[in-house]
A and B are shown apart, each in its own frame.
Chain A
Amino acid sequence: AQSVTQLDSQVPVFEEAPVELRCNYSSSVSVYLFWYVQYPNQGLQLLLKYLSGSTLVKGINGFEAEFNKSQTSFHLRKPSVHISDTAEYFCAVSDPGGSYIPTFGRGTSLIVHP
């Protein structure tokens, strides 16, 4: 069974500062990893994904994440955030050899202050 832990329920940060949203997973098999963003009253939008290959993944809106197999982590980073990045961020993991149905973390609320 897979699980995802997002250690921070809320991350406040000032505009133009860097940010890291943490995600750790547990799985006995290889994994696919995803980060989604959800703006208020909207569905999920894929930010980036790791399926294979380079462990550093670049996504939309200037976000990137690094897959670290030894630490079972997939932390999301952005060097300089904007007010418009304020949203809920979900990390998810799925099993490439199984049903591909992702397991989601509880989410991290990124709050960008002016």
Chain B
Amino acid sequence: GAVVSQHPSWVICKSGTSVKIECRSLDFQATTMFWYRQFPKQSLMLMATSNEGSKATYEQGVEKDKFLINHASLTLSTLTVTSAHPEDSSFYICSAKKAGAQREQYFGPGTRLTVT
């Protein structure tokens, strides 16, 4: 199998605080992980690509100082939403590629972030 988990599954935070979301590959090593954002009834928007041990590559229009991504090991990537505001409320989904198998991604279950 290829299982990806995310924690937490749902988080509510106050405006101005920071929130960290974890993405873990449970049974494989992931050299590359991706973070997506999904608004209600819309498709997935790629935010950034993270490679283990190096800086993340952000898509155009995504604030790297706002969305901090760390890929410290082959099984863990974290997304920190800093100084969150209500407009950051969204569904965040991570995915991972297996080392040596680049043709498809395995998706996590997503994290629903609500900023009040």
Q: Which residues of A contact B65 (CB under 8 A)?
A: none
Contact B110 A102, beta carbon cutoff 8 Å: no
Q: Contacts A90-B44, A105-B43, A107-B42: A100 and B107 contacting too (C-beta < 8 A)?
A: no
Q: How many A-B residue pairs have CB under 8 A?
A: 48
Q: Which listed residue, A43, A49, A100, touches B102 by the CB 8 Å rule?
A: A100
Is the CB of A84 closer than 8 A to any CB of chain B? no
B102 smallest CB distance to A (angstroms): 5
Interface residues of A in 43-65 (CB under 8 A from B): 43-46, 49, 51
Is the CB of A106 closer than 8 A to any CB of chain B? yes
- How many A residues touch the partner, as a band? 20 to 34
Is the CB of A34 closer than 8 A to any CB of chain B? yes
Question: Which residue numbers of B lie inside 8 Å of A, CB to CB?
Answer: 4, 6, 34, 41-44, 46, 49, 91, 93, 95, 97, 102-110, 112
